[in-house]
Amino acid sequence: MTPEQYVQEKAAGSGSSFYYAFLFLPPRRRAAITAFYAFCREVDDVVDEVQDPGVAQTKLAWWQTEVARSFAGDPQHPVMRALMPLAGEFGIEERQLQAVIQGCRMDLEQTRYLDFPSLERYCHLVAGVVGEVAARIFGQTQPGTTDYAHKLGLAFQLTNIIRDVGEDAMRGRIYLPIDEMQQFDVKAHEVVQRKYSERFTELMRFQAQRAHRLYDEALALLPAEDRRNQKPGLMMASIYRTLLREIEADDFRVLHQRVSLTPLRKFWLAWKVQALGRL
């Protein structure tokens, strides 16, 4: 299997909404974003799939070394061998990949966040920086597009957090800020035990309203000159925001299930942005 085949299988096999946006890109941009996304999946899987925290820390340390080695000209992992020939062309920097690894390491070291500003710092590493890299690959020409990408990444990550509340709690992690749980009188043990209440629903509605606000703010930040090039990000925004609305329509029943959109619906939403230029 070639490195290119490896990253293609990694990206397609994840079933992610991101994959559907990649389909509409020209070949080299598609190759770059596929390899970068495969890298993100590799390091994220270390946290989600490795049971022993010590082993997970060792694996992430290996990835830190592999990234440094790759930018020094000696990539070994198939993902890095697929990514490095494209890194210079699309402005992908070592610091960005190291930031993603740092964010994943936070998952091993911290399971709760006191308030939204502390959660936001985590989201920037695992999602905002990802948005920054993606915007460059898609063809960013305006400096302001970076601010748009950071804010859109934050909106995506908050949508993920809302969707995965029950699943994350089973892994021992609750990303809902502690002070906001206290504000709505929702206890951690209720989340772990999958107990629904009006208090929980109101807490989740509060989270969803924040996410919607961030989507609106992100779209307002996108310079008109880059709107065409950034269509893949807008496709992802359409898919993720539709998912958020589905969760809202289901009254935030996220403790016992993972709400998702069908592949056909994701493709339709992506195509609509590509063809009609609107979310």
DSSP 143-206: THHHHHHHHHHHHHHHHHHHHTHHHHHHTT---S-HHHHHHTT--HHHHHTT---HHHHHHHHH
Domain count, the chain: 2
* Cα gap 60→125, rounded to integer Å: 15
What pLDDT, on the 0 to 100 scale, is given for residue 53? 86
With tokens 């509409």, the residue in question is 24
Q: Are residues 246 and 189 in the same domain?
A: yes
* Cα gap 148→188, rounded to integer Å: 33
What pLDDT, on the 0 to 100 scale, is given for residue 277? 66
Contact between 168 and 174 under an 8 Å Cβ cutoff? The reply is yes
Residue after which a domain boundary falls, among 90, 109, 128: 109
Q: Are residues 220 and 142 in the same domain?
A: yes
Residue after which a domain boundary falls, among 39, 74, 109: 109
* Cα gap 126→274, rounded to integer Å: 26
Q: Are residues 130 and 235 in the same domain?
A: yes
Residue after which a domain boundary falls, among 76, 109, 142: 109
Q: Are residues 222 and 255 in the same domain?
A: yes
Q: Are residues 51 and 62 in the same domain?
A: yes
Write out the chain's pLDDT in tens, 279 residues. Answer: 899 999 988 887 766 777 777 888 999 999 999 999 999 999 999 988 877 889 999 999 999 999 999 999 999 999 999 999 999 999 999 999 999 999 999 999 999 999 999 999 999 999 999 999 999 999 999 999 999 999 999 999 999 999 999 999 998 999 999 999 999 999 999 999 999 999 999 999 999 999 999 999 999 999 999 999 999 999 999 999 999 999 999 999 999 999 998 888 988 998 898 887 666
Contact between 169 and 181 under an 8 Å Cβ cutoff? The reply is no
CATH number, residue 126: 1.10.600.10
Q: Are residues 173 and 235 in the same domain?
A: yes
* Cα gap 39→252, rounded to integer Å: 31
* Cα gap 174→98, rounded to integer Å: 24
Q: Are residues 1 and 40 in the same domain?
A: yes
Q: Are residues 227 and 91 in the same domain?
A: no
Cβ neighbors of 79 (< 8 A, separation 6 or more) are: 3, 6, 7, 10, 35, 38, 39, 42
Q: Are residues 151 and 236 in the same domain?
A: yes
Residue closest to 247 by CA, chosen among 235, 237, 261: 261
Residue closest to 158 by CA, chosen among 210, 219, 193: 210
Q: Are residues 143 and 74 in the same domain?
A: no
What pLDDT, on the 0 to 100 scale, is given for residue 279? 62
What pLDDT, on the 0 to 100 scale, is given for residue 240? 95
Q: Are residues 93 and 190 in the same domain?
A: no
- Kindly list the distances between the CA atom of residue 23 and the CA atoms of 26, 30, 88, 149, 181, in Å, as whole numbers in the listed order: 8, 7, 22, 20, 39
Contact between 145 and 135 under an 8 Å Cβ cutoff? The reply is yes
For residue 75, give its domain range. Answer: 1-109
Tokens encoding 254: 């996220």
Q: Are residues 84 and 150 in the same domain?
A: no
What pLDDT, on the 0 to 100 scale, is given for residue 14? 62
